[in-house]
């Protein structure tokens, strides 16, 4: 195990936040009962917010960002893990109040860890990451609400992003007719390769929402929020459901109660950071079954730790398609 290792460290001086590649030692890490040699991490939208400081994701400084990690257990005093175990971690306050995954070594609580499913390599797990894990939580919520392929099409907003790409791929494989909403219509070929049956421009859902609109879909996965979510709700069919997991378009919701009280629509809030372990394991089991590895590979690009600051800017600017996996130095 490395006693000295590289990490991306955020510091803040007044209103100025910096992100630098630094060398740290084990004594610099936070408390935990498992030490993991991190082989891969990933860049999610939330990571973009944390690394750039555009939103107050980070609660304490200095901080190692990165809300996901995968790797191998080096040492453990936790009864559930032993040296050599392959593990992954999503959320649980990483990058907020506990050092995260943009580091070659991490010390974390064993209660936060998931054993790597045999279907995945650590790189695969990070190609999924919090974005893909959240997409699966959205699909599970729709299923629990009774939204089946027979009920009608489903729409995925922000479809070319991380959550959207994985959601499109999973829903299509499960037999749903998927409408993909995106601000990047040049990605039509990519989205259809994931299984989307129809592509609609973001502008179709970005104007002021009517209380109710023509019924267009039985369910939705929304990672955008704001007027987009309001328009999705207004066009959801009687008894349908919408899984909401993101705020790329804003935190407001300029909608009315009409979809809820006149059509019986369910708005399903999806929180992934502190999701109970039972549901996490269910999500990862379903990802192993319902996400085509070849499709996952087609939406993934590898980068290095030094590329993370630029990737953070790119993901917030909407310049990232699919998933970015951070490969740590050997």
Average pLDDT over residues 100-107: 97
178 secondary structure, DSSP code: E
45 secondary structure, DSSP code: H
CA dist., res. 59 & res. 47, Å (int): 13
What does the block give as tokens for 136?
């699966």
Reported pTM:
0.94
Report the candidate in 304, 303, 299, 310 with the shortest Cα–Cα distance to residue 131: 299
**Using an 8 Å Cβ cutoff, are 167 and 141 in contact?**
no
Domains by residue range for the chain, with CATH = 4-116+299-327 (3.90.180.10), 130-269 (3.40.50.720)
pLDDT tens figures, 23-46: 999 999 999 999 999 999 999 999
Helix (H, G, I), strand (E, B) or coil at 274: coil
Q: Specify the length of the chain in residues.
A: 330
Query: Does the structure show a pLDDT above 70 at 330?
Result: no
**Cβ-Cβ contacts under 8 Å for 314 (sequence gap 6 or more):** 48, 320
| 150-177 as b/e: b if 16+ CB within 10 A | ebbbbbbbbbbbbbbbbbbbbbbbbebb
In the block, residue with structure tokens 């549901």: 279
CA dist., res. 315 & res. 165, Å (int): 14
CA dist., res. 221 & res. 161, Å (int): 12
What does the block give as tokens for 20?
């630098």
CA dist., res. 323 & res. 85, Å (int): 25
| Pairing verdict, β 86-90 and 105-108 | unpaired
Residue 314's Cβ-count burial label (10 Å; 0-12, 13-18, 19+) is: middle
What does the block give as tokens for 313?
């800017």
Average pLDDT over residues 76-105: 97
Helix (H, G, I), strand (E, B) or coil at 71: strand
Q: What whole-number percentage of the chain has pLDDT above 70?
A: 100
Query: Does the structure show a pLDDT above 90 at 185?
Result: no
| Pairing verdict, β 34-42 and 105-108 | antiparallel
CA dist., res. 316 & res. 330, Å (int): 29
Per 3-state DSSP, the chain is made up of helix, strand and coil in percentages (nearest 5) of: 35, 30, 35
pLDDT tens figures, 237-262: 999 999 999 999 999 999 999 999 99
pLDDT tens figures, 109-168: 999 999 999 999 999 999 999 999 999 999 999 999 999 999 999 999 999 999 999 999
Provide DSSP, 210-264.
PSS----EEEEEESSBHHHHHHHHHTEEEEEEEEE---TTBS-----SHHHHHS-
End-to-end CA gap in the chain: 11
pLDDT band at 57 (very low <50, low <70, confident <90, very high): very high
């Amino acid at each position: 195990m490395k006693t000295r290792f590289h990490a991306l460290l955020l510091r803040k001086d007044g209103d100025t936040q910096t992100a630098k590649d630094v060398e740290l030692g084990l004594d610099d890490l936070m408390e935990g009962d498992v030490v993991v040699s991190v082989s891969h991490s990933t860049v999610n939208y939330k990571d973009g917010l944390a690394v750039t400081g555009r939103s107050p994701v980070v609660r304490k400084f200095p901080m190692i960002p990165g809300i996901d990690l995968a790797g191998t257990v080096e040492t453990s005093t936790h009864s559930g893990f032993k040296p050599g175990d392959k593990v992954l971690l999503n959320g649980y306050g990483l990058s907020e109040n506990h050092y995260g995954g943009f580091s070659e070594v991490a010390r974390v609580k064993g209660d936060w860890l998931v054993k790597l499913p045999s279907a995945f390599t650590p790189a695969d797990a990070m190609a999924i990451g919090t974005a893909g894990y959240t997409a699966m939580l959205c699909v599970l919520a729709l299923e629990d609400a009774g939204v089946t392929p027979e009920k009608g099409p489903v729409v995925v907003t922000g479809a070319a992003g991380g959550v959207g790409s994985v959601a499109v791929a999973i829903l299509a494989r499960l037999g749903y007719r998927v409408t993909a909403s995106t601000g990047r219509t040049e990605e039509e070929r990519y989205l259809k390769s994931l299984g989307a049956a129809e592509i609609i421009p973001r502008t179709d859902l970005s104007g002021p929402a009517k209380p109710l609109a023509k019924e267009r879909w039985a369910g939705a996965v929304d990672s955008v929020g704001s007027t987009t979510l309001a328009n999705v709700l207004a066009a959801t069919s009687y008894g349908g459901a919408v899984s909401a997991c993101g705020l790329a378009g804003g935190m407001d919701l300029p909608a009315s109660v009409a979809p809820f009280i006149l059509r019986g629509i369910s708005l399903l809030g999806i929180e992934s950071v502190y999701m109970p372990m039972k549901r996490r394991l269910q999500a990862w089991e379903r990802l192993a079954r319902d996400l085509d590895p070849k499709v996952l590979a087609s939406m993934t690009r590898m980068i290095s730790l030094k590329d993370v600051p630029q990737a953070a800017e790119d993901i917030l600017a909407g310049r990232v398609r699919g998933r970015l996996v951070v490969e740590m130095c050997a």
